[in-house]
Amino acid sequence: MSAHAHTDAHGTPQGSGHGGGHGGDAHAQGHGDVGTQHPISIYLWIWGLLFVFSGFSYMVDYFQLHGMLRWGLIIFFMLVKAGFIVAIFMHMAWERLALKLAILAPPVALLVLISLMAVEGDYTFMTRLASFVH
């Protein structure tokens, strides 16, 4: 038996750390919801919503929308679908806040910085263009 092994009420060794599953008993001792199964209805509901939002994405092309409205809607539907996939199918909705922030904060920070660079680049380009024209 390992140093971390415990026995249950009947004296049966528990927590050898060499069991099957995802991470053995060390994982089970750190999380109270190990073995929790979510109802299949949640997954089917989200699966249906993904089909609906995919249909909306195709409707953008079907109705031949153009310009910023088209790209805004396509990106919106894409982000909604990605959010559902990450939250439900990748089980992010049931994780602790610290893990959510550790995973989601860096990409959000990169998007903010890229947006700031795009605005700054546009301003620089327009300033140079204006100075060369005059």
Tens of pLDDT, residue by residue over 7-20, are: 455 555 554 444 44
Mean pLDDT, range 70-93, rounded to an integer: 94
Mean pLDDT, range 58-67, rounded to an integer: 95
Q: What does the block give as tokens for 27?
A: 């994982």
Same domain, 43 and 78: yes
- Give the confidence band of 38 by pLDDT, cuts at 50, 70, 90: confident
Same domain, 45 and 82: yes
Same domain, 84 and 119: no
Same domain, 86 and 63: yes
Mean pLDDT taken over the chain: 81
Same domain, 89 and 100: no
Same domain, 100 and 127: yes
Same domain, 88 and 104: no
State the residue range of the domain holding 80: 38-94
Same domain, 50 and 74: yes
Cα–Cα distance between 89 and 41 in angstroms, integer? 13
Contact (Cβ atoms closer than 8 angstroms) between residue 31 and residue 20:
no
pTM (global) more than 0.95: no
Helix (H) or strand (E) holding 101: helix 97-133
Quick one: pLDDT at residue 35? 66
Q: State the total domains in the chain.
A: 3
Cα–Cα distance between 22 and 36 in angstroms, integer? 13
Surface-to-core class of residue 124, CB atoms within 10 Å of its CB (0-12 exposed, 13-18 middle, 19+ buried): exposed
Mean pLDDT, range 71-89, rounded to an integer: 94
**119 has a pLDDT exceeding 80:** yes
**85 has a pLDDT exceeding 60:** yes
Quick one: pLDDT at residue 111? 94
Quick one: pLDDT at residue 6? 52
Give the residue, 12 or 65, on which the prediction is more confident.
65
Quick one: pLDDT at residue 132? 87
Q: How many CB atoms lie within 10 A of CB 50?
A: 16
Same domain, 44 and 83: yes
Same domain, 45 and 84: yes
Same domain, 101 and 90: no
Same domain, 43 and 8: no
